[in-house]
């Protein structure tokens, strides 16, 4: 459905319901699934047919996982947060994400690497989920990358990047780093558009 038809539809619904149902509520209920069981999965190989047609090396698979995770991260950051934290994310957080992928998956069986995907997680307002590396055959998350908003007393806001692994049942909190936002509250995570 084109954007102008959606906008017209939202206006008509708002008028007919006297504002009791706002377009944003309607849009979220129509387009956003927050339940984890409804998350969409993207194959790492969907975007690279050359790798799909040959036996990919461990490094190629890790590189594709990182690339897909980076795309998903920027989708969550959106147009308001992304440009402001882009430099630090690229210089500090992304290399640590790559290192953690290499470390955690270094002992993962080579024959199962082709089943790894990056899950698209709901980009709702409160969720910590950035992206997960997921085995589509076993239905198990291997690494869960998260970002949390922190607001220490008498300080500004920070984005705390961390991850959890299947090795310890996702209990340990592995620190990737913090990016300072500012004193003002950061905007909400991007929603699907």
Shared-domain flag, residues 110 and 52:
yes
User: Given this model, what pLDDT does residue 34 score?
Assistant: 35
Which pLDDT belongs to residue 125? Answer: 54
Determine the pLDDT at residue 94. Answer: 94
Residue 189 forms part of a structural domain: no
> CA-CA distance, 13 to 19, in Å (whole number)?
8
Count of domains observed in the chain: 2
Is 190 within a domain? no
Q: Are 8 and 92 part of one and the same domain?
A: no
Question: Does residue 113 share a domain with residue 86?
Answer: yes
Q: Are residues 80 and 136 in the same domain?
A: yes
Adjacent-strand bridge partners of 146: 129, 162
Q: Are 134 and 116 in contact (CB under 8 A)?
A: yes
Q: Do 48 and 20 share a structural domain? A: no
Look up the domain containing 78 and give its range.
35-180
Structure-block tokens of residue 166: 């299947």
Q: Does residue 2 sit in the same domain as residue 73?
A: no
191, part of any domain: no
Q: Are residues 127 and 81 in the same domain?
A: yes
The answer to the question of residue 2 being in a domain is: yes
Instruction: List, as one string, the DSSP characters of 40-107.
Output: -EEEGGGG-HHHHTS---HHHHHHHHHHHHHHHHHHHHHHHHHHHHHHHIIIIIHHHHHHHHHHHHTT
pTM of the complete model beyond 0.75: no
pLDDT at res. 2: 63
Q: Are residues 102 and 172 in the same domain?
A: yes
CB 127 within 8 A of CB 121: yes
Q: Report how far Cα 113 is from the mean position of its chain's Cα atoms.
A: 20
Mapped onto helix, strand or coil, the DSSP state of residue 167 is helix
pLDDT at 78: 87
Same domain, 3 and 75: no
Stretches where the chain sits below pLDDT 70 are 1-10, 12-55, 121-126, 191-193
Residue 66 corresponds to which tokens in the numbers above?
Answer: 């990182």
**Do 24 and 93 fall into the same domain?**
no
Q: Provide the phi-psi class of 48: left if phi over 0, else alpha when psi is between -120 and 50, else beta.
A: beta
CA-CA distances (angstroms) from residue 88 to 103, 108, 183, 189? 22, 30, 18, 18
């Amino acid at each position: 459905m084109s954007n102008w038809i959606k906008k017209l539809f939202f206006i008509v619904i708002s008028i007919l319901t006297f504002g009791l149902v706002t377009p944003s509520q309607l849009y979220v209920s129509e387009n956003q699934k927050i339940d984890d069981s409804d998350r969409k999965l993207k194959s790492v190989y969907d975007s690279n047919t050359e790798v799909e047609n040959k036996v990919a090396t461990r490094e190629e698979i890790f590189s594709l996982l990182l690339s897909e995770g980076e795309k998903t991260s920027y989708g969550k950051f959106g147009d308001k947060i992304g440009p402001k934290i882009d430099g630090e994310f690229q210089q500090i957080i992304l290399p640590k994400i790559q290192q953690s992928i290499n470390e955690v998956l270094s002992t993962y069986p080579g024959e199962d690497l082709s089943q790894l995907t990056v899950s698209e997680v709901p980009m709702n307002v409160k969720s910590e989920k950035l992206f997960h590396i997921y085995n589509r055959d076993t239905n198990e998350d291997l690494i869960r990358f998260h970002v949390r908003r922190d607001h220490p007393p008498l300080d500004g806001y920070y984005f705390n990047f961390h991850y959890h692994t299947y090795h310890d049942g996702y209990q340990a909190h592995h620190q990737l780093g913090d990016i300072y936002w500012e004193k003002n509250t950061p905007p909400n995570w991007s929603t699907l558009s």
